């Protein structure tokens, strides 16, 4: 598949009716030149979601999401860029033209396609082997004992890897694939003696697919207890990343979208058993915690994720990371209290199991409340040291919740249990709250490779608000904007603001007509700026004032830096400059009234 040509892209955007597309997800009402409604990306009672029909942009002033009509379809339908364009092209009857790419990209794509075929063929081989071979008899028995019927096993493509050392290796090569390709997809591995052999042998094979149903790798379950690891997965390859895998997502996505929630379980057989019992919004993760990548992948599709994992044993730190990502995306994470020693697959096989499981799902507890309860239960409250440790552990959990009624309740509970003053607990929570500043590095925990969560307006620093106001005016008044854009430097702007300024410099006439689709954060900010530019009054005076205020912050940074370096001469000179600037600002503010 070659690239979609720019002309086609333009035609799709031209033909698409953003009001119609968005209206499928929320009711819109006209308000002046724009449309407003309840945000389809976060829970709210008063509308803060805005759609600009001529530029075909959306932005939520509540949760910060935004972009163009293609981005909306990507986020809401859980599609990639090209898929979203294809969907819109289909719907609005635009024929897509493709462009020839550079040969290297084309070669890469072809290799990827070959590897996909190799994985698909191997999955088919394993599946046939499970149903046809005598050797797999014990595997069929095992699966039947677990209550899994042939229908669901076939639907998920479950298979069996023979015990021979080279079945896949030989068959793969017979079909024209090289040993190198077999290694690249993780099916062959090199032994100590230098020869290659099959990675999966004598194992029940679970093909792991992406959202579109393409095989990425496999999970293999041992048949004998003396066989080494009980589960062996495909090693990390170019396209198999364990932390991003949601097992069964290809079969679960429709049910997930319909239910507005996903149920996350730990094992392959758990996913199968739940689907068989009609709980089709179930997906699997490989481990006891959900990763930030998995949260991010689900956040476009659902508002709520219920973890039916052995959450007791999940690392607290791992859960905290997931919680932080979820909170940034307005997604609720809840924990279903699974009975000790019983996994979902076992429960489904028992009488009345599915009903019991559904009840447990309904009663699921907020992850934060769960974590706090877990810490408190494990604390020996007679020991002051233990109490202090418990407080240190719950403070970051509570801090991550933001200021809410349920947090206040939890704080009271913690104070009572640890025999402390609520104000003291509150103090520790505030101290554990990450400082919000436009420039600091968010730290590795909150960094999600896919798409950073948009910053909610309430989280913006005053400096970022000012920067956005000025940039929006640069859109509204492009001639004067040009001058300010050339004066704004790294020292004035946040990293995102800086990228937005560069974008506006490069696209002075039509900033929104071709939003970058590989940089969701920037696209969202540009959409916001364009919508703001239509709504907020702009004037030369206001632009100048905003610029001077940003310049004042720049001077203050430089003064602080000079002080830290011990360069007092420079600091004095800068301070004088600041005094002049403050004077100038005060004058402008007086004039502006």
Cβ-based nearer residue to Zn ion, 74 or 280? 74
Contact 474, 538 (CB under 8 A): no
Least distance in angstroms from the C-beta of 193 to Zn ion: 59
Q: Is 215 helix (H, G, I), strand (E, B) or coil?
A: strand
Least distance in angstroms from the C-beta of 464 to Zn ion: 18
Least distance in angstroms from the C-beta of 341 to Zn ion: 41
Cβ-based nearer residue to Zn ion, 159 or 328? 328
Q: Which of 9, 28, 50, 62 binds Zn ion (CB under 5 A)?
A: 62
For residue 5, which phi and psi values (nearest 5 degrees)? -70, 155
Q: Which of 12, 21, 51, 63 binds Zn ion (CB under 5 A)?
A: 63
Token readout for 566 is 């011990």
Least distance in angstroms from the C-beta of 22 to Zn ion: 12
Q: Which of 21, 51, 60, 185 binds Zn ion (CB under 5 A)?
A: 60
Cβ-based nearer residue to Zn ion, 35 or 41? 41
Q: Is 445 helix (H, G, I), strand (E, B) or coil?
A: coil
Contact 265, 289 (CB under 8 A): no
Cβ-based nearer residue to Zn ion, 62 or 78? 62
Query: Which stretch in 54-62, 244-252, 260-268, 382-390 sits in contact with Zn ion by CB under 5 A?
Result: 54-62
Q: Distance between CA atoms of 443 and 324, rounded to whole angstroms?
A: 12
Cβ-based nearer residue to Zn ion, 42 or 428? 42
41 in contact with Zn ion (CB under 5 A): yes
Least distance in angstroms from the C-beta of 462 to Zn ion: 22
Please return the burial class of 32, using the count of CB atoms within 10 Å of its CB with bins 0-12, 13-18 and 19+: exposed
Cβ-based nearer residue to Zn ion, 60 or 158? 60
Cβ-based nearer residue to Zn ion, 41 or 218? 41
Q: Which of 307, 255, 260 is nearest to 281 (CA)?
A: 255
Least distance in angstroms from the C-beta of 118 to Zn ion: 42
Least distance in angstroms from the C-beta of 27 to Zn ion: 15
Q: Distance between CA atoms of 143 and 4, rounded to whole angstroms?
A: 45
Cβ-based neighbour number of residue 461 at 10 Å: 16
Cβ-based nearer residue to Zn ion, 343 or 528? 528
State the SS3 of 241-264: CHHHCCECHHHHHHHHHHHCEEEE
Q: Which of 475, 524, 520 is nearest to 501 (CA)?
A: 475
Query: Which stretch in 8-16, 32-40, 83-91, 305-313 sits in contact with Zn ion by CB under 5 A?
Result: 32-40
Least distance in angstroms from the C-beta of 306 to Zn ion: 22
Q: Which of 34, 42, 199, 334 binds Zn ion (CB under 5 A)?
A: 42
Least distance in angstroms from the C-beta of 493 to Zn ion: 24
Q: In whole angstroms, how far apart are CA 238 and each of 185, 186, 219?
A: 8, 10, 17
Please return the burial class of 545, using the count of CB atoms within 10 Å of its CB with bins 0-12, 13-18 and 19+: buried
Q: Distance between CA atoms of 438 and 418, rounded to whole angstroms?
A: 36
307 in contact with Zn ion (CB under 5 A): no
- What percent of the chain is helix, strand and coil (3-state, nearest 5)? 55, 10, 35
Size of the residue set binding Zn ion (CB under 5 A): 6
Query: Which stretch in 31-39, 228-236, 388-396, 416-424 sits in contact with Zn ion by CB under 5 A?
Result: 31-39
Please return the burial class of 140, using the count of CB atoms within 10 Å of its CB with bins 0-12, 13-18 and 19+: middle
Q: Which of 4, 9, 36, 39 binds Zn ion (CB under 5 A)?
A: 39
Cβ-based nearer residue to Zn ion, 46 or 145? 46
47 in contact with Zn ion (CB under 5 A): no
Least distance in angstroms from the C-beta of 454 to Zn ion: 9
Least distance in angstroms from the C-beta of 314 to Zn ion: 29
Q: In whole angstroms, how far apart are CA 524 and each of 53, 65, 296, 447, 511?
A: 16, 6, 16, 17, 12
Cβ-based nearer residue to Zn ion, 18 or 314? 18
CB neighbour burial string for 97-119, b if at least 16 within 10 angstroms, e if fewer: eeeeeeeeeeeeeeeeebbeebb
Cβ-based nearer residue to Zn ion, 39 or 272? 39
Q: Which residues bind Zn ion (CB under 5 A)?
A: 39, 41-42, 60, 62-63
């Amino acid at each position: 598949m070659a690239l979609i040509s720019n002309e086609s892209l333009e035609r799709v955007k031209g033909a698409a009716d953003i009001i119609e597309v968005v209206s499928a997800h929320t009711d819109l009402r006209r308000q002046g030149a724009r449309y407003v409604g309840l945000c389809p990306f976060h829970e709210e009672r008063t509308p803060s979601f805005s759609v600009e029909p001529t530029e075909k942009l959306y932005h939520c002033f509540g949760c910060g999401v935004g972009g163009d009509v293609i981005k909306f379809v990507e986020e809401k339908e859980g599609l990639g860029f090209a898929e979203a364009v294809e969907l819109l092209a289909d719907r609005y009857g635009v024929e897509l033209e493709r462009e020839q790419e550079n040969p290297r990209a084309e070669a890469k794509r072809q290799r990827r396609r070959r590897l996909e075929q190799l994985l698909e063929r191997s999955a088919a081989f394993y599946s046939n082997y499970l149903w046809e071979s005598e050797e797999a008899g014990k595997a069929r028995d095992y699966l039947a004992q677990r209550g899994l019927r042939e229908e669901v096993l076939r639907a998920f493509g479950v298979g069996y890897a023979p015990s021979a050392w080279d079945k896949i290796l030989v068959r793969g090569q017979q079909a024209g694939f090289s040993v190198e390709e077999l290694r690249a997809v993780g099916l062959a591995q090199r032994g100590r003696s230098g020869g290659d052999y099959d990675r999966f042998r004598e194992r029940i094979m679970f093909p792991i697919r992406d959202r579109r149903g393409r095989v990425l790798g496999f999970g293999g379950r041992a048949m004998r207890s003396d066989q080494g690891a009980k589960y062996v997965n495909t090693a990390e390859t170019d396209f198999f990343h364990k932390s991003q895998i949601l097992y069964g997502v290809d079969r679960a996505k429709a049910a997930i979208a319909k239910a507005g929630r996903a149920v996350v379980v730990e094992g392959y057989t758990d996913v199968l058993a739940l689907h068989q019992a009609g709980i089709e919004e179930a997906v699997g993760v490989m481990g006891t915690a959900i990763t930030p990548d998995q949260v991010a992948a689900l956040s476009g599709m659902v508002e709520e994720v219920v973890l039916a994992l052995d959450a007791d044993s999940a690392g607290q730190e791992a859960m905290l990371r997931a919680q932080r990502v979820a909170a940034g995306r307005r997604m609720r994470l809840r924990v279903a209290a699974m009975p000790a020693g019983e996994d979902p697959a076992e429960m489904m096989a028992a009488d009345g199991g599915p009903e019991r499981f559904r009840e447990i799902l309904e009663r699921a507890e907020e992850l934060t409340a769960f974590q706090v309860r877990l810490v408190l239960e494990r604390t020996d409250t007679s020991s002051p040291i233990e109490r202090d440790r418990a407080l240190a552990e719950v403070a970051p959990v509570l801090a991550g919740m933001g200021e809410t009624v349920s947090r206040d309740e939890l704080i009271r509970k913690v104070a009572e249990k640890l025999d402390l003053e609520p104000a003291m607990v509150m103090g520790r929570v505030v101290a554990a709250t990450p400082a919000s500043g436009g420039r600091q590095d968010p730290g590795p925990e909150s960094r999600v490779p896919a798409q950073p969560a948009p910053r909610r307006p309430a989280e913006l620093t005053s400096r970022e608000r000012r920067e956005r106001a000025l940039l929006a005016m640069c859109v509204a008044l492009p001639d004067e904007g040009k001058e300010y854009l050339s004066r704004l430097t790294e020292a004035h702007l946040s990293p995102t603001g800086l990228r937005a300024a560069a974008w506006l410099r490069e696209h002075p006439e039509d900033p929104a007509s071709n939003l970058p689709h590989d940089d969701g954060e920037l696209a969202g900010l540009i959409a916001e700026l364009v919508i703001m530019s239509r709504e907020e009054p702009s004037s030369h005076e206001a632009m100048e004032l905003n610029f001077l205020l940003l310049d004042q912050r720049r001077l203050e940074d430089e003064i602080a830096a000079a002080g830290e370096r011990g360069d007092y001469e420079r600091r004095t000179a800068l301070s004088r400059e600041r005094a002049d600037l403050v004077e100038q600002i005060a004058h402008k503010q007086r004039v502006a009234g």
